[in-house]
Amino acid sequence: MASSAPADAMTLRSRIWSWVTTTDHKRIGILYGVSAFAFFMLGGFEALIMRLQLSGPDAGIVSADTYNQLFTMHGTTMVFLAVMPLSAAFFNFVVPLQIGARDVAFPRLNAFSYWVFLLGGLFMNVSFLVGAAPNAGWFGYANLTSAQFSPGVNVDFWAIGLQILGIASIAAGINFIVTIVNLRAPGMRLMRMPVFTWMTLVTQFIVVTAFPVITVALVFLMFDRTFGTNFYSVAAGGEVLLWQHLFWLFGHPEVYILILPAMGIVSEVIPTFSRKPLFGYAVVVYSGLLIAILGWGVWAHHMFQVGLGPIADSVFAATTMLIAIPTGVKIFNWIATMWGGKLNFTTAMLFSVGFIAMFIIGGLSGVMHSSPPADLQQTDTYFVVAHFHYVLVGGAVLGLFSGIYYWWPKVFGRMLSESIGKWHFWLTVIGANLTFFPMHFIGLLGMPRRIYTYDAALGLDTMNLVATIGAFAMALGSLVFVGNVLWTWRKGEAADANPWDGAMLEWAMPSPPPVYNFSVIPTVKSRLPLWSEDGYEPKPLPEDPPGPIHLPGGSYWPFVTAVGIIVAAAGLLTGSLWVALAGIGVLVVGIYAWALEPFEV
């Protein structure tokens, strides 16, 4: 457009500015995706260092203290900064399109959620630069985290950082609940919603109810460390178990926050590439709801080893086994969808099928943990590490990659390379199994988690080496994906509106969608709008909107408000009252300017 250098600088600046001030759900979705993937690579890098350290006995790659920081930040990063925001990328981009909306209910709140997440994630990772990364595990058990046993700022970075991320999650949760409840196109009844939208709704209900609980736990921790309160102080009669209860009361629902979006993605991908509607739609939806509800009643299975007594143990064992039922139902529904279908094994489909296979293995070892006597042998060993990585890598991450291949053409208007994608898939799946399958045996043979080295006499060298090789294969897979993105950027085949012949509304508009999404808000008449003769009206959507469409403009106040929160947090961390007050000042100015600026959705 512009030819002179200053003009180029101007356009670059205004382009950056347009991203900072954007309130378009599609652009915010892209921002979430890019940031989350960067954190995913960072978390993966931390895992590689750990695997190098464990590739042989008594390796001296990192010190015990560095190792503590690595496993703490690996867990925290993957859960809060990679998988959750990658899911958020899909919520943002896909949900408004699937329900026939022009944006989310609160576009500025949406931008705010993103900026708080990004700045909160950076805040936590700055700890590496000052050599004081969190080091008490992603579960941060009291009283390991007390001022007495963790005197540095490591735990402060973690406790404050997680509270910031909680703000982002709760704000986004409220936003998407309202969006899905209130902004559906005419005719899009609840039981016509795509399963991905359903799982998003269920996930957001868990988010807005679970995050306040960990917020309270973290506030107690912060007060104990900063003001000398006694919440987790045994000397004052407090109980360290209070932390475990609050943390896992949040922590187990969090597991479903991580997996339900991936289940939603798989429920979109498998029908598309089986050329069949999802088998038992209603049962899949209700199973998701049931998982969310039961997910609140199983937290103490993380705590069998503390000795809650036979009655509590039995109750939590039973609820944990119960939750396998709706999960199993979903798996059978996906398999039944494929049964007799015209299967097309695209990369997206491969990742979804990989999800089912890996998730079954992770689910089986999960049911093993539900039995307290078995769990007592497995807890704090690599067996547990194997279990939750099958669920989170084999489940959540494969599901998210499936979604990336599935919706990439819609987002960017280009097809990711299928041949490179297959390399990506096989490297990831083979790598994941090489890494995590031996860990079942490593754990049952007695190797504990979170220990930076092991003795040669344990005889676990070979299996640990295999696990390390697998980890590098997975890392190579992720690099292949980056290569695929770069290749697609330059040479990718252009995508038409509906390259996979999908059934849902997001495929009814051009790829990438115009800024207003739908030229005319369609009236939905079917659960599979694009697969039925009269699924939606008007059909097809007109190329240009018949009249002017009001779109909300950009706003920089969400960003300013987010900055205020981070500055206040930095003041809290450093104990500087003035910095904290400055942050609160920016926050207050941001909120008022936000509330008063003319902005119509």
Does residue 374 interact with another protein by CB under 8 A? no
Per-position x/- string for 236-265, each x denoting binding to another protein as judged by CB under 8 A, each - no binding: xxxx--x---x--x----------------
The one among 210, 291, 541, 587 contacting another protein by CB under 8 A: 210
3-state secondary structure 205-267: HHHHHHHHHHHHHHHHHHHHHHHCCCCCCHHHCCCCHHHHHHHHHHHHHHHHHHHHHHHHHHH
Q: Which is nearer to another protein, 339 or 592 (CB)?
A: 592
341 DSSP 8-state letter: S
Give the DSSP letter string of 482-534: HHHHHHHHHHPPBP-S-TT---SGGGGS-SSPPTTS-SSPPEE-SSSTTTSTT
Identify which range of 118-126, 150-158, 234-242, 488-496 contacts another protein by CB under 8 A.
234-242
Instruction: Find the shortest distance in angstroms from Cβ 279 to another protein.
Output: 27
Q: Which is nearer to another protein, 219 or 479 (CB)?
A: 219
Cα 570 from Cα 593, distance rounded (Å): 23
In angstroms, the Cα distances linking 318 to 304, 311, 323, 387, 427 are 13, 11, 9, 19, 37
User: Could you tell me which residues come within 8 angstroms of residue 136 by beta carbon, excluding any fewer than 6 positions away?
Assistant: 68, 72, 144, 145, 150, 154, 155, 158
Cα 335 from Cα 35, distance rounded (Å): 33
Cα 509 from Cα 501, distance rounded (Å): 12
Cα 145 from Cα 210, distance rounded (Å): 21
Instruction: Find the shortest distance in angstroms from Cβ 196 to another protein.
Output: 18
Identify which range of 121-129, 283-291, 504-512, 592-600 contacts another protein by CB under 8 A.
592-600
Identify which range of 145-153, 224-232, 485-493, 569-577 contacts another protein by CB under 8 A.
224-232
Answer positive or negative: Cα dihedral of 234, 153, 215, 37.
Answer: negative
Q: Which is nearer to another protein, 247 or 454 (CB)?
A: 247
Does residue 230 interact with another protein by CB under 8 A? yes
Does residue 575 interact with another protein by CB under 8 A? no
Helices and strands: H and E segment counts in the chain: 18, 2
Q: Which is nearer to another protein, 164 or 331 (CB)?
A: 164
The one among 7, 13, 16, 212 contacting another protein by CB under 8 A: 212
Instruction: Find the shortest distance in angstroms from Cβ 98 to another protein.
Output: 14
Does residue 173 interact with another protein by CB under 8 A? yes
The one among 129, 227, 546, 547 contacting another protein by CB under 8 A: 227
| Omega within 30 of 0 (cis) for the link into 538 | yes
Does residue 601 interact with another protein by CB under 8 A? yes
Q: Which is nearer to another protein, 50 or 185 (CB)?
A: 185
3-state secondary structure 52-78: HHCCCCCCCCCCHHHHHHHHHHHHHHH
Q: Which is nearer to another protein, 213 or 393 (CB)?
A: 213
Kindly identify the residues of this chain, within the stretch 79-138, that bind another protein according to CB under 8 A.
Answer: 105-106
Cα 420 from Cα 438, distance rounded (Å): 28
Q: Which is nearer to another protein, 16 or 181 (CB)?
A: 181
Q: Which is nearer to another protein, 106 or 556 (CB)?
A: 106
- Residues in the site for another protein, rule: CB under 8 A? 105-106, 170, 173-175, 177-179, 181-184, 186, 188, 208-213, 215-217, 219-220, 223, 227-231, 236-239, 242, 246, 249, 592, 595, 600-601
